[in-house]
Amino acid sequence: MSAAIEKRVGKGGATRPPIGLLLSIGDKTTSRGGREIPTRIDWIRPKEGQLEQYAQAVAKYREVYGEQPKQLDDIFFLSNNIGDILNIRLMAWGKSGPKIVGDTNYATLPREEWEDRAFAFDDEITYFPRSPADVKADIRDTWNGEPIRGQLTGPDDARVKKLEINVECTLNLCLPKVMGFGTVAQITTKGRKSMRNLMSAINDQWAFFQGQLVGIPFRLTVQPAKISHFDQESRTYMPTTIHMLVLDTPFTVQEAIDAIRVRREALGAGQPMLGSPESRALTEALALPVAVEEAPQLRDEPAAESLPDALLNRIAHLEQQVGDAGAQAVLKGVFGVESAAALSQVDAERYESMLVKNVAPEDAGEGEIVDADFESVLDNDGDEIEFGGDR
């Protein structure tokens, strides 16, 4: 693993904070026959846990956010490593806990690779049998409760359907108005749209804040989206609405800088963390001294001697639309330069992309066309469909 990737995703194996609250955008309803049916909801639901171990946090959550909040606008992360914040892996659950746990956290892979790798169902796994009946006959007599290692071989592997193995995405976060130090809240989704949104947002913000995610206020929203599916009986595309998770920051760049400063002062830290990416990237904007002898070099690529005129012209046009204040906040706060001409080719293109997003946000349109039957669309895009109880 390269030094840059290792810094982004972490080495792993660190002690993780215990869970203090579980959240969901799924629920269960009871059918006429008494069977529990997974359902989707358009708000973020707190769960008390099978043993009501989170009941106190749930009561505080409702006091702060109300009964059916569609948005949490004050969440924070407790690590700068993407692998600590986001966990995307193969999982299967039973009533008393996990049955299958995949080895790979796909959130630590490059953003252009993770989805294909995750949904290939090709990974080493750990199986947790509950009784000798769950163990293969050839090792049943010698099994003494230990986990069993194995290898999935693809979506057609019989174990995928039999054990209900899914790709699951869990976001670890802190709710400062609800939770104390030492625990995290978790929200889990099986929806591919939600996974894509979270993966993209975490990587974008990690890059934007130069590796600093701790201390940055974020916002988590349940957002409706239209999709279409092909109905085999009528041979037409039919619309339906799903709900997905969207992660962003509730602030403009300048508001984020101000909020970071206020939060740092509230926690009693009068100076930025020595040598941190935050202190280097935001020093000028905050007008605070940084007590470091030499600022570490974060990027290996050399600055380009000159940028293409076409690129500079496009950037200049976008800067006019954004305004000098907004452009300077990004140039100084993110890249540490006064002018786009001082950027490398890679950073200039990244800067242009940031300006484009601020000038013309992407329109979601009428929804994605999905060539699948209705049930498979819901399975692929549904969130928090539980079969094994709270976890």
In a domain? residue 343: yes
Task: Give the span between the Cα atoms of 301 and 164, in whole angstroms.
Answer: 45
Query: Is residue 287's pLDDT more than 50?
Result: no
More confident residue, 317 or 151: 151
**Cα angle 61, 222, 391; round to 5:** 55
- How many structural domains are present in the chain? 1
Q: Which of 163-177, 308-322, 360-374 has the lowest mean pLDDT?
A: 360-374
Stretch among 199-208, 262-271, 293-302, 320-329 having the lowest mean pLDDT: 293-302
361 pLDDT higher than 70 = no
CA 376 to CA 378: how far, in whole Å? 5
Write the secondary structure of the chain as one string of H (helix), E (strand) and C (coil): CCHHHHHHHCCCCCCCCCEEEEEEEEEEEECCCCCEEEEEEEEEEEECCCCCCCHHHHHHHHHHHCCCCCEEEEEEECCCCHHHHEEEEEEEEECCEEEEEECCCHHHCCCCCHHHHHCCCCCEEEECCCCHHHCCHHHHCCCCCCCEEEECCCCCCHHHHHCCCEEEEEEEEECCCCCCCCCEEEEEECCHHHHHHHHHHHHHHHHHCCCCCECCCEEEEEEEEEEEEEECCCCEEEEEEEEEEEEECCCCHHHHHHHHHHHHHHCCCCCCCCCCHHHHHHHHHHCCCCCCCCCCCCCCCCCCCCCCHHHHHHHHHHHHHHCHHHHHHHHHHHHCCCCHHHCCHHHHHHHHHHHHHHHCCCCCCCCEEECCCHHHHHHHHCCCCCCCCCC
The answer to whether residue 375 scores a pLDDT higher than 80 is no
Quick: pLDDT tens for 76-103: 999 999 999 999 999 999 888 899 999 9
242 inside domain: no
Tens digit of each residue's pLDDT (9 = 90 or more) over 313-343? 888 878 877 677 667 777 876 777 888 888 8
Judge whether 32 lies within some domain.
Answer: no
The whole-angstrom separation of Cα 378 and Cα 167 is 14
Look at residue 336 and tell me if it is in a domain: yes
What pLDDT, on the 0 to 100 scale, is given for residue 216? Answer: 85
pLDDT of the residue at 33: 64
Residue type, 58: V
Query: For residue 272, is pLDDT > 60?
Result: no
Question: In the predicted model, what is the mean pLDDT of residues 266-292?
Answer: 43
Q: What is the percentage of the chain residues whose pLDDT exceeds 90?
A: 40
pLDDT of residue 293 exceeding 50: no
Query: What is the model's pLDDT at position 384?
Result: 37
- Residue 178 phi, psi dihedral angles, 5° rounding: -115, -40
Cβ atoms within 10 Å, residue 205: 19
Query: Nearest-5° angle of CA 64, CA 70, CA 75?
Result: 55
Instruction: Quote the tokens at residue 17.
Output: 């904070």
> Pairing mode, if any, of strands 19-30 and 184-189?
parallel
* 312: β partners: none
Name the CA radius of gyration of the chain, rounded.
Answer: 23
Q: How confident is the model at residue 22 (pLDDT cuts 50, 70, 90)?
A: very high
Looking at residues 264-270, what average pLDDT do you find?
58
Mean pLDDT over 156-171 rounds to: 95
**Cα gap 390→31, rounded to integer Å:** 19
Whether 321 maps to a domain, the answer reads yes
CA angle 236, 237, 238 (to 5 degrees): 110
Residue 12 has pLDDT above 70, yes or no: no
Asked whether the predicted pLDDT for residue 379 surpasses 50, the reply is no
What mean pLDDT is predicted for residues 179-206?
A: 92
Amino acid 367: pLDDT: 31
Domain presence at residue 353: yes
Angle, in degrees to the nearest 10, between helices 277-286 and 253-266: 110
Q: Which of 29, 188, 17 is nearest to 98 (CA)?
A: 188
Q: With respect to residue 347, please indicate whether it lies within any of the assigned structural domains.
A: yes
Residue 308 falls within a domain, yes or no? yes
Model pLDDT, residue 308: 86
Residue-number span of the structural domain to which 264 is assigned: 254-290+304-359
Report how far residue 154's alpha carbon sits from residue 116's, in angstroms, rounded to the nearest whole number: 12
User: Quick check: 72 and 274 in contact, CB under 8 A?
Assistant: no
Residue 25 · residue 43 · CB < 8 Å: yes
Query: What's the chain's average pLDDT?
Result: 77
**Which of 107-111, 273-277, 387-391 shows the lowest mean pLDDT across its residues?**
387-391
Confidence of residue 75 (pLDDT cuts 50, 70, 90): very high
